[in-house]
Amino acid sequence: PLRHCGAVIVAAGNASRMGGIDKVMAELGGEPMIVRTVRAFENCDAVGEIIIVTRSDLVKKITDLCAGFTKVTAVVAGGADRPESVRNGISALSKKVKLVAVHDGARPLITNALIDRTIRAANTYSAAAPGVPVKDTVKIVRGGMVESTPDRSALQAIQTPQVFDLDLLTGALEKAKKDKATITDDCSAVERLGMSVKIVEGDERNIKVTTPMDLKIAEMLLEEMQ
């Protein structure tokens, strides 16, 4: 049986690369991006409840925007960095939650099918994330010089939602904090504990909107998806 899953949607970043527009509030298809992101989780049967983590100055605005979503149980302020924001979101989940799906608020084109697929994999494997094969050749570069070229066939770009047993992610984030480890995503916190993460097939349309150009691409993709 599918365990009770809570989603933590992290929309606490600043607008540094969006030329000053608040990216989660940026309009996409005529509505704020965050609304589109939240709706995908609201409409997914595998998700039982949703917490939105945002900047303290946006808590009221996002609470009002998401008032119509029945699964949103809280909108909370983020922390100094992403791991702290995720921890704040986790602590607002109900006691029923056994699985937690952490998603970037700036990935508004996430589909119901991808959310469902990742949650089901985590239900079996304890940790799962969507990945797409890397198209570019990737170089390890130091001091402006190429150090090595990893085998591209083994490389995947990891998306969100990243879904975990709640206890596993909670413990992994606590340990990363204690060790002062730099983690770029939630999977890396779990990997530090020696746990394996199951990769499911991601979706090339599930892009992260971080620049004005990304927003234009998202608009085009959205038109195709409708």
pLDDT in tens, 72-123: 999 999 998 899 999 999 999 999 999 999 999 999 999 999 999 999 999 9
Q: What is the pLDDT of residue 184?
A: 87
CA distances from 213 to 17, 50, 218 (A): 10, 29, 9
Residue written as tokens 């009221």? Answer: 60
CB 214 within 8 A of CB 207: yes
Radius of gyration of the chain (CA): 17
d(CA 37, CA 21): 17
Q: Assess contact for 89 and 76: CB atoms under 8 A.
A: yes
How far apart, in whole angstroms, are the C-alpha atoms of residue 47 and residue 43? 8
Q: Average the pLDDT over 44-73 and give the result.
A: 96
Predicted pLDDT of residue 74: 97
Average pLDDT of the chain to the nearest whole number: 94
As a whole-number percent, the residues of the chain with pLDDT over 90 amount to 87
- Per-residue pLDDT band for 19 (boundaries 50, 70, 90) equals low
113-152 pLDDT, tens digit per residue, is 999 999 999 999 999 999 999 999 999 999 999 999 999 9
Average pLDDT of the residues in 17-45: 87
Tell me how far apart the alpha carbons of residues 119 and 180 are, in angstroms, rounded to a whole number.
29
Alpha-carbon distance of 32 to 58, in angstroms, equals 13
Q: 222: pLDDT confidence band, cut at 50, 70 and 90?
A: very high
Q: Taking 70 as the threshold, does the pLDDT of residue 49 lie above it?
A: yes
Tell me the average pLDDT across 18-44.
Answer: 88
For residue 77, CA distances in Å to 32, 72, 110, 140, 208 come to 18, 14, 23, 36, 21
C-alpha 184/C-alpha 39 separation (Å) is 26
pLDDT at 23: 77
Confidence at residue 75, expressed as pLDDT on a 0 to 100 scale: 97
